[in-house]
Chain A
């Protein structure tokens, strides 16, 4: 176990559905991340939250909506997705970048395998 838990592990949803992915970390980190891992593509950073504030959005379509209610929890709300959004969605956490002595090593969850039909 990495200390980062993602639920659900697998999700199949229709294009008109609304669902949410959940990520929880108990490592005392203040930075959390959403990544998308597609077949034959590099790991894509989607969103970064630092102390609950979104600090990065890498041109992600609005059908993906992140939420970070506190430093331990991160959600990714999904609505009206497309089949090409099918992928493994990874959550990660780390010490906040820039903190003195921080190592910014990321700890990853096992991911949610999303299939859009």
Chain B
């Protein structure tokens, strides 16, 4: 069965600090990878996605993620966070069979 592991449950940073959130998955076949973000009081929305091609994908608001197939990882990065990035971040994996699995989520708090 596929699974997704997010290593950090709660991350606290100051503004302008760099961010890296870890995500590892277990599945032997072809996967589509996603990062979703949920701002306080808002719906889950897509931050970025990877299907194929360049393993470094860029998303909205300056976020990027790198797919490293050999490590089964899809870590999310941002060079300089802002207070408005305070949110919960979910890594998700979809297989071609359509089964989607989410990680536990990481709560990011950015202190102004």
Residues of A bordering B, CB below 8 Å: 2, 4, 31, 33, 35, 41-43, 45, 48, 50, 55-56, 90, 92, 96-98, 103-111
Residues of B bordering A, CB below 8 Å: 32, 34, 36, 42-46, 49, 51, 90, 92, 94, 96-105
Contacts A50-B98, A55-B98, A98-B96; A105 near B46 (Cβ below 8 A): yes
Q: Are A98 and B100 in contact (CB under 8 A)?
A: no
Identify A45's interface contact among B43, B90, B101, B105, CB under 8 A: B101
The total number of A-B Cβ pairs within 8 Å is 57
B36: A residues at CB distance < 8 A = 108
Identify B45's interface contact among A2, A97, A103, CB under 8 A: A2
Q: Are A90 and B102 in contact (CB under 8 A)?
A: no
Contacts A2-B43, A110-B43; A98 near B98 (Cβ below 8 A): yes
B43: A residues at CB distance < 8 A = 2, 4, 90, 108-111
Instruction: Pick 26 A–B contacts, CB within 8 A, sort by A.
Output: A2-B45, A4-B43, A31-B98, A35-B102, A42-B103, A42-B104, A42-B105, A43-B102, A43-B105, A45-B99, A50-B98, A90-B44, A92-B44, A96-B98, A97-B94, A97-B96, A97-B98, A97-B99, A98-B98, A104-B100, A106-B46, A106-B92, A108-B44, A109-B43, A110-B42, A111-B43
